[in-house]
Structure 1
């Protein structure tokens, strides 16, 4: 028994020596990991866990620091920040820049993705085929979604599509912005950290947002009515600076590659998905008016959303893609990961 234990210890020590040796001659890198949500957001810990794992697996030759809350740049700029090397790994919302990333925009279509965890795995697995074409300025790392969001408003319940007419709404992304316009509303653009302010000042009447982030960003202080329907998700990605990646040794590149996988997409998405979903119960406990709609009203919403699918298809065609094939591939992944609406 002692001999066997000694063998285990020796094997573990040898593995450590081999691993250390693989990185012994490597240059040390300090990665800047940037995001634009508060440090209290689940994404902060997800990036810390990602960085800690990279540091460990690289034998300490790849270190990191997380920069939250737009410290290195505005939310809208995070893709270009990774491209230009202002940060090394950034968290991006492709929908913040309408028309720039049409393919991944499929994930934004209403009534398509039913949950955050399986939806993240499905989106990530599907988009890897197209990321090099659409995000060619950076090294794509992984993609994910938050748990489904909905309408949250200040002064009235939004029950049917006709209720949007005349309202000023901050949309989550380009697809929801188009939806609001088609229904006769006016879009008010702002990043997530600015939403409470525009609602408080009356610049906007309502917002499309996931549930847990309503209290996190203080939006529960300026909203009262919440439609309990999984209306939409938002697509996100981690993207890496190509120059920094190309400066790394083969063993260091492998470490980064091993942290840019479908498994890591789920690891990043899961705590956030749980956090967002828990917001429904929290708002109910705070006395907010969290209301459901009838099957007939839901059917109205789905019919009203149909032109969005055509708009998405047209934008993909313009970019040289086949929207039918691309959408069928996404739907197949959603079924595989049990996240189809």
Structure 2
């Protein structure tokens, strides 16, 4: 048995290097738990992989994706953050984004249900001609209401964060001003969706299915005469630089064709979140996100109009008689869709009536 005096004597004769080692060990004993705690806290940060198909300088990326990401990071106290992948940086095509988010390649995507023919059958009613208001915010609210009431079954494999309007698809041409349905006959025009293609075919144009990234070059080389594209997207892909004329109806009238856009989240990713983080996602989704996107689209439309006017492009508003003639000429698009939807077991007539009713409600607001 070692006495206290013997311990003190032994300590006094301990080499300096061994005393230093003991001190270092004691310091590490205190520091390591703190370090591991910090690492654990960092490991708990949830990263949301957010993919879309427009460039980083686009209105969607700057005015919707970035602010949404900043909001969820702030309200989660830094426990959630985004990693954005604009311009399809995760690979694939716009049409494949729905599968990417369903399969967990991305956690959140922005795409259009229109790009997946037949996959979102109830949502297709939103693409019927002359149904949605021209105002981006009002059209987005109308689309969200319609989907909530009639089309949520389309999104059973996803956590739907928002549906909004991609804006009125104006008809932009390189060299020929368009003021009537007659003027459209024989033109080769890029179509953004199946319904836009049916619309153009009914009028007598030749719809061309072409990725957004190829449209500007297609027009500049004369492969196509123009394109049917929403206002906000024109400068994002520089179509405004190769076209001169942009034809639309009156602001008080429903647009020719609108493309619904969806922001969807991987269902398993959402379900894996802690309750407080789900609450943050919920707070910044639904009506709040519809409001954000709708306002962003309206701002983008206003900015685009100013930009195009400054560079000498012409906006052409067709007269009521020509507008009504276009409605009459393209009425077959809706009639055919009702038959197809009914054949798939849906009440096509009721869905078409609902989208007209809800669109009219927001048109008058």
* Shared fold, TM over 0.5: yes
Contact 1:37 1:192 in 2 (8 A): no
Partner of 1:134: 154
Q: Which structure has the greater CA radius of gyration? A: 2
Aligned partners of 2:117, 2:129: CA distance in 1, in Å? 16
Q: CA deviation at 1:26?
A: 9.7
Aligned partners of 2:79, 2:344: CA distance in 1, in Å? 40
Aligned partners of 2:360, 2:163: CA distance in 1, in Å? 17
Q: CA deviation at 1:340?
A: 5.6
Partner of 2:168: 148
SS of the equivalent of 2:168 reads coil
Cα offsets for 1:282-335 (capped at 9, x unmatched) = 323322233232222112111112111112322322332222332343344334
SS of the equivalent of 2:48 reads strand
Partner of 1:94: 113
TM-score by structure 2 length? 0.80
Do residues 65 (structure 1) and 83 (structure 2) align?
A: yes
Greater shift, 167-176 or 95-104, is seen at 95-104
Partner of 1:4: none
Structure 2 CA distance for partners of 1:331 and 1:194, relative to 1, 3 Å: same
Do residues 168 (structure 1) and 188 (structure 2) align?
A: yes
1:194 aligned to which of 214, 218, 231: 214
Unaligned 5+ residue runs, structure 2?
1-40, 250-254
Contact 1:112 1:340 in 2 (8 A): no
Partner of 1:31: 48
Aligned partners of 2:314, 2:102: CA distance in 1, in Å? 43
- RMSD between superposed Cα atoms in Å: 2.3
SS of the equivalent of 1:252 reads helix
SS of the equivalent of 2:258 reads coil
Matched positions, count: 317
Greater shift, 217-226 or 325-334, is seen at 325-334
Structure 2 CA distance for partners of 1:249 and 1:77, relative to 1, 3 Å: same
Greater shift, 141-150 or 211-220, is seen at 211-220
Aligned partners of 1:203, 1:83: CA distance in 2, in Å? 36
1:329 aligned to which of 341, 348, 354: 354
SS of the equivalent of 2:109 reads strand
Aligned partners of 1:28, 1:38: CA distance in 2, in Å? 27
Contact 1:117 1:147 in 2 (8 A): no
Partner of 2:124: 105
Structure 2 CA distance for partners of 1:136 and 1:154, relative to 1, 3 Å: same
Contact 1:90 1:240 in 2 (8 A): yes
Structure 2 CA distance for partners of 1:182 and 1:328, relative to 1, 3 Å: closer
Aligned partners of 1:295, 1:151: CA distance in 2, in Å? 17
Q: CA deviation at 1:151?
A: 0.6
Aligned partners of 1:83, 1:300: CA distance in 2, in Å? 42
Cα offsets for 1:231-256 (capped at 9, x unmatched) = 23221010111121122223322322
Aligned partners of 1:259, 1:231: CA distance in 2, in Å? 31
Partner of 1:255: 280
Contact 1:27 1:248 in 2 (8 A): no
Do residues 282 (structure 1) and 326 (structure 2) align?
A: no
Contact 1:37 1:193 in 2 (8 A): no
Do residues 78 (structure 1) and 70 (structure 2) align?
A: no
Structure 2 CA distance for partners of 1:29 and 1:95, relative to 1, 3 Å: same
Partner of 2:16: none
Unaligned 5+ residue runs, structure 1?
1-23
